[in-house]
Structures are given as C-alpha cells and as structure tokens.
Chains A and B, each alone.
Chain A
C-alpha cells in the first residue's frame, strides 16, 4: 500500500504546462500560412481566466527561428499581448502572454508572423458553430496557465472543472465526495482482504 501511495504522490507532483482551455478546434491540417508580417485573426467563444500563454501548432516553411506575436482584444480594448523571442522550428510553439485575470467572452485573437519565414498554423478546415466564425478555417488556440504546475497547484481548477458539464447537485464538492467514496470503497476492500491473511 505504501508503494501505491508513493506512486500517487509522484504522479501528483509532476510539473508541466497545464491547459486553461482551448477553442476545441482539432489539428487536422495546416489551415493557414502566414507570410512575414501577415496576420490571422479569429473570434473564439472565450479566453479563459488565468490564461498566460497560447500554444499553437505550427510548421515553419523556411529556415530561421519562428517568431509570432499574439494580441487579444475585446470591444476594441487590448486584453493581453505576447510574442515569442524566436523559437527554434518545432511542431508546437508556446507564446507567453500577460496573464488574463478572468474569463472573457468573444475576444478577438490576432496572430502575426513577425519572423522572416512563412509559418503554417494547424487547425481545422471545418467550421465549428461555436468558434464564432462560419465557413472558414480555424487555427487551434490552446490557452495555458502560468508556468509549470503540478496537480496540487491546479487542484482548485480541477475541482471546479469536475463539477461542470454534468448534472451535479454537489457543486464543487463533487470531487471531494468522489475521493471519500473511493476511500470508503478501498476501506471495505482492505477490510475484506485483511481477513484473508493468516
């Protein structure tokens, strides 16, 4: 049992960038190629609170570092901005942003290629009714929380997310209740197998 508990501890303490939300667009193809200085703007349904970076699927069409600038506006006001300093070519790129304090609906997100080589953005060509645009291509926008976090750091967010998207009379207590249910289940099981031992 100690090994199991230690294993759970190791899993819970793993640090990595954690998602705040996305625009639910799948990366099925490279849907838009931006030449140097060219810009793509999208109007996703929301930008989540605590978003502090934007992860994009990219393909560099030339040599040199990938440079992108991102600006998010809402009703003409700038919500946040950010840019890459010049990341080596990769299939994914993370653009750091000034953290967004709270969830905002219907922002306008513009991505500008500030490098020299053309860059293709990954996304989907099928229009999604909730993406705010119809009949056009959509790049996948994956919003990340600040820094690298372990599970304990994001426990509040996970607790509130588990409570959403379902019928749930317990609200944010659902995950703790599931924890208690698991402890009870394991307790009964341990009691049963304890009796097996001589």
Chain B
C-alpha cells in the first residue's frame, strides 16, 4: 500500500496516472461543455440564474414572488436561442443560420438588466456553495455577456469533473490497494461515462455534488483502510458539510456517514483514542460550517433553512405523469421506493406504468440527454443491457472467488451500502412527494451519480471476474467500450442539435 502522506505532499506524491485520469475527466467535460448549446443541460436555466443573481448581489436569490425568476438578460438570450422551443422537442435544432445568429448577437449586445431576477424557481431553495464558486468564473469572465459567461462557468464545472475522477481513482486505490491497473480502469470508466460527461459540461450543482460525494467515499475508504485519524475524520466532516452546502440531495447520504463513522470507530481496536479524535474532527468540520450557513441563511438572508421539500427538482421535458397512482404514507413510500429500483413483489400495488429499473435508471445511465428529450435508438439500450448482464456476471464471479475476504471487510461494505441506500431512499420519497404535488416524474439517472465510486468499483470487480491474469486486459476492453460509448453519445448530441 502506498505510504500515507497528507496535504500538499500527499497530492504531489500521487501517481502520474491519477493526474492523467483527472485531466481526462476535465477534457471530456470541456468537450461536452463546448458541444452542448447553452441551457440544454437539464435545469441549467435556473442554475445559471442563481449564479447570476449571487454574482450580481453577493447573496443567494430570495425567492421573492414579486420578482421574476430569470433576469432580463437571460430571458432575452433564451428567447433568441429558442431555448423554450428546443427543450423537449428533438426536431427543433439549435441556431441553424447566420441570420438567426445575427438576431441573437444584436439582441444580446443590448444593455439588459442582469440583477433583476430573484424570484422562485427549482433552484432558489438550494444552498449557495456551488453557485458561489461559479460566481468566480462569472466575475472573472473577460466579457460581461451572459453567453460568454456561460462558457467560462462551464469550464469551471469541468474542474469538478476532474475532481470527481481523481477522487474515484483515490477511492479505488484504497479499496483495491494491490492492483494499480484497477485504479486507472475504474477512474477512466467514470471519466468516459456519457451521462456524467453531459452533466459535467453544464452549469449545475450536481457537478460539485458528484465531486464531493466521490471525496466522501474516498475518505470513508481511507478511514477503514488506514484508521479514523483526525485528518481522515476532518475530511469526512468537510465532505459532509460541503455536500450539504452544494445540494440538499446529499442529506440522503447522512445516515450512511453516521454509520460509517460508528463502524470505523468500532473497528479501531487499540487506536480507540485516535479514532475518537477522528470522529470528533468529523463532527466539528461538519457541524460548524452548517451552523454558520443556517445562521447566515436565516438571519442575514432571511431564507428558509430547509425548503418544504428536499428535492427542488426539475420537470424534465419529455416526462409526463407516467400514469402512476398517487398516495402518501410510509408503507406507500417504501413500496414506491422499492419499485423504483427493484421488481415489484406480489403483495405490492403496481405504482408504475413502466419498469423504472430499466426505463429510468438503465436507459438514463446509458444515455438520455438534454432535458431528457433525446437518447439512443431502443436497440442500443437492449444491446447495452446484454453487455451489462455479462459484466454483472463477471462481477458476481469475482465476489464468489474472493468471498473469504468479504467478512473481514463487512464494516466497510456496510458503510458504502448505507450511504447508497440512504441516497436511493431519499430519491424515492422525494420522487413520490414530487409526483403527488405536481403529477410529473422526478427521478433521473443523474441523481444516482453521487454513487459513481461504487460504479467504478463494480467495473473493477467485473474485470477481476475474468481472472487475475486476464483482468487488466478485460479492464482495458471495458475502458475502450466506455470511450466508444462516450463518442457515440457526442455524435448523438451533434445530430440532435446540429444535424
């Protein structure tokens, strides 16, 4: 196992492959960001509005109903980009002619109000950390035009993509310490995952959420492999507070974080005192920033500490009410959540007119892009399912081969499982709440992307399933498959908006 180094020295000591994987993550996100038309990443409209308001006023939008949701500048820009007509309508392309471009240029060169938004929208109630970070490129942009600033903000998002891939690499290094090939294979599988790449190309707090979630998994893995030191504890706490301050979805992962800390404490053996200090460091680094945020949010900004619903989600274009039955109580919520991820059990009421594990998660993960308004031909999802089943079979074979090692790491596995389960349950209950109140579908594959480190670990296990000798080769083939997936997704995007 590589020696433990902290801080800058630790970063400098990272293998070159780690930095190259991170660079690939950034380059892929930059490519996506330059390819996708402005506002064509789901919810990018409201997230851009949030950044603009925060950058112009130095505080998050108040959600004041007397104010518009978007600034005059954004409204005019979107009008001449035809954003409203393009979203949800794959036959409407982006700007196609020089004449339309000229109209857009003339319209956006006028002096238009930038700070007059602040009205409620899907993003208003979210915490401000991602938006505050994106306000930096917004302000640093050499041009004041919103279209220019969006490009710079998207480049900012690419840094989070790089961070995500780097943390996935580091996570795998902790989980599979003896197999250097596994770190690269898993990290590159994430870097070339097109749903991740598409989101990484846009202005959305999901990018910080993915990054900090990957950081959390890395810190938790480190706690189990090297002990819950004060440094590791502080990292877990910092990831927790940054996660909650980036997007409230992170709250779903909290029970898993508590369990991880408790299990790491119980596994500390003779190092109990150090582990207690680590847990204390986690508590302090998590609670202090959150307390400050709650105080500033309530006292200075006069905003609700938590919104009425945690999801604050988007109505994705192309999704309708989906023909589901409405209702609400714990049993109903559990049934809904179960059916969201698993086949319905005989005693459960059928709550979906479709099969969410396939329609929502599988298709979404393979690729449903934009505002969920375009994707691959149906045959591609079926073909990909065959590949997925084969990889899952290899993964199960790997677990069976190494089953003797599983009991020794049950705490660590339970911690990862609890973090994942918490997020999945939160999405289920938030989705049910959202459907009951709006009638629209809430769930999107990107909501599970905070679990990218586990996806990478599953990919590595699949390679392991081919046997020790062939594993690196199978890993290389998987990465090439991911690269092909990425390039076909980009071609699909070109045909959607420019074909």
On A, residues with C-beta under 8 Å from B are: 1, 3-4, 7-8, 11-12, 18-22, 24-26, 45-46, 48-49, 103, 105, 128-130, 142, 151, 154, 158, 160-162, 164-167, 174, 177-178, 181-182, 184-186, 188-189, 191-198
Q: List 11 A-B contacts (CB under 8 A).
A: A21-B96, A24-B82, A26-B92, A48-B96, A103-B97, A181-B27, A189-B24, A189-B479, A196-B181, A196-B185, A196-B472
Closest Cβ–Cβ distance, residue B87 to chain A (whole Å):
10
Neighbouring A residues of B191 by C-beta, 8 Å: 189
What residues on A are CB-neighbors of B85 within 8 Å?
24-26, 128
Residue pair A165, B188 in contact (C-beta under 8 Å) = no
- State whether the Cβ of B476 lies closer than 8 Å to any Cβ in chain A: yes
B12-47 CB mask vs A (1 if < 8 Å, else 0) is 000001001101100110110011011000000000
Q: Quote the shortest CB–CB distance from B476 to chain A (angstroms).
A: 4
What's the least CB distance linking B151 to chain A, in Å?
A: 5
Q: B79 in the interface, Cβ–Cβ < 8 Å?
A: yes
B294 at interface by CB-CB < 8 Å: no
Shortest distance between the CB of A108 and any CB in chain B (Å): 16
Does B319 lie at the interface of the complex (its beta carbon under 8 Å from any beta carbon of A)?
A: no
Selected from B93, B184, B484, B499, the residue in CB contact (under 8 A) with A192 is B184
Whether A189 touches B97, Cβ cut-off 8 Å, given contacts A19-B499, A158-B498, A166-B38, is no
Tell me whether A174 and B34 are in contact in the complex, defined as CB-CB below 8 angstroms, given that A48-B97, A164-B101 are known contacts: yes
Partner of B475, one of A4, A20, A181, A196: A196
Q: Are B151 and A165 closer than 8 Å at their CB atoms?
A: no
Residues of B contacting A: mostly? helix
Specify which chain B residues have a CB less than 8 angstroms from the CB of A22 in the assembled complex: 91-93
Asked if B480 lies at the interface with its beta carbon under 8 angstroms from chain A, I say yes
- A76–B484 Cα distance when bound, in Å, is 52
Closest to B93 in A: A19
Contact B98 A8 (CB under 8 A): no
Residues A18 and B499 in contact in the complex (CB < 8 Å), given A182-B490, A196-B181: yes
Closest to A4 in B: B484
CB A109 to nearest CB in B, in angstroms, measures 16
User: Quick check: B31 and A167 within 8 Å, CB to CB?
Assistant: no
Which residues on A sit within 8 Å (CB–CB) of B148? 167
15 additional contacts, CB 8 Å, given A1-B480, A182-B487? Answer: A22-B93, A24-B86, A45-B99, A46-B100, A49-B97, A130-B82, A154-B499, A158-B498, A166-B37, A167-B150, A178-B35, A185-B24, A188-B23, A193-B188, A195-B17
Q: How far is the CB of B59 from chain A (nearest CB, A)?
A: 27
**Across the interface, which residues of B come within 8 angstroms of A130, CB to CB?**
79, 82
Given A7-B488, A46-B99, A188-B20, is A162 in contact with B35 using a C-beta cutoff of 8 Å? yes
> In the complex, A18→B494 CA distance in Å?
13
Q: Once the chains are docked, how many angstroms separate the CA of A142 from the CA of B98?
A: 18
Q: Is the CB of B100 within 8 A of A197?
A: no
Q: Give the docked Cα–Cα distance between A26 and B148 (Å).
A: 29
Near A by CB (< 8 A), chain B positions 225-274 give none
B76-90 vs A: 1/0 string, CB under 8 Å?
A: 000101100110010
